[in-house]
Amino acid sequence: MNSKKTWLITGAGRGMGVEFARAALAAGHDVVATGRNPEAVAKAVGDGLFAVKLDVTQRGDAEAAVKAAVERFGRIDVLVNNAAIFEAGFFEELTPEQIERTLAANLVGQMDVTRAVLPLMRAQGAGHVVTISSTAGLASGVEFTSAYAASKFGLEGWMEALRVEVAPFGIHTTVVNPGFFRTELLSEQSTRYAEPSVADYDARRGPLMAAWTATHGQQAGDPAKLAQALLTIASQQPPPRRFLAGADAISTAEQKIADLQADIESNRQLSTSLAFDA
């Protein structure tokens, strides 16, 4: 790393967030590690960090966490939007409340935290907003992921638009698309399944739930290595606008590119014939 920075990390009480905070601390940075329970965050990460309460679904928490970070360290150089939940199930069986919870935690909450940080970064004339998306934000042909994918696709569009808005202020943005990493996202504490309500899905529901449950703890990706990759990204000048995390993430992106190209070619003539006649 080129110099000491102040990092603010959401969702630092478990999973990737813990590894991100540990790596930044070990590299000599100041770390504001946030979560719904700051005591649990401090216990999970260890000594040396500044643990602050931040439930991303509570707008006031974001503003208070940024204020506390500034009072302690004077600035925020790197924001890592990491907090997320997984409400799994067929779209028809997910309740409106489950979908709203997903969007609140995975999309709107990240927006609110970023909105609270941006005035500080503009005043500094520098900053880096890193948002943890997913391969489900690039392509989602997997059952049970409709709400999660909707939130991650939303993150993608928001971050792409944000990038051009804040670039004139010296602020960079990076979207990170992890594949399957061995975190707690699929644990009982982090995943909630829709209640069965549509008989037409009965034959498929059980095997799908079993497959998702069996995936937990077997994912190929190492969160500690992703944390080190994040340190590398944050040190690059300029940092990348996107980072595909994992060989499976690269495969997903390459298939998405191929699918888009096939869609273009399948109706190229029709697509290009839609302008007013000269």
Provide the pLDDT for residue 75.
97
**Does residue 148 carry a catalytic annotation?**
yes
Q: In the numeric block, which tokens belong to residue 112?
A: 């609110």
In whole angstroms, how far apart are CA 177 and each of 62, 86, 87, 241, 253? 24, 16, 19, 11, 9
The percentage of residues in the chain with a pLDDT greater than 90, rounded to a whole number, is 78
pLDDT of 182 reads 66
Are the CB atoms for 10 and 110 separated by under 8 Å? Answer: yes
Residue 152 annotated in active site:
yes
> pLDDT for 10-43, tens place per residue?
999 888 899 999 999 999 999 999 999 999 999 9
Residue 170: helix, strand or coil by DSSP?
coil
Cβ within 8 Å of residue 118, ≥6 positions away? 127, 129, 166, 171
Of 149, 135, 130, 163, the C-alpha closest to 235 is 130
Q: Which of 146, 148, 151, 193 is catalytic?
A: 148
5 is catalytic: no
Asked if the model's pLDDT at residue 1 lies above 50, the reply is no
pLDDT tens per residue, range 164-213: 999 999 999 999 999 877 666 655 656 788 888 899 999 998 888 887 77
Cis peptide before 38, with omega less than 30 degrees from 0?
A: no
Which pTM value belongs to this model? Answer: 0.92
Residue 34 bridge partners (DSSP): 52
The residue from 134, 146, 151, 152 that is catalytic is 152
The single residue of 133, 134, 146, 151 carrying the catalytic annotation is 133
Under a CB-based contact definition with an 8 Å cutoff, are residues 132 and 81 in contact? yes
Q: Predicted confidence band at 47 (pLDDT cuts at 50, 70, 90)? A: confident
* 34 contacts: CB under 8 Å, gap ≥ 6: 8, 9, 10, 11, 12, 41, 51, 52, 53, 54, 65
Q: Please, what is the Cα angle at 130 between 126 and 135, to 5 degrees? A: 155
Closest CA to 13 of 222, 190, 214: 190
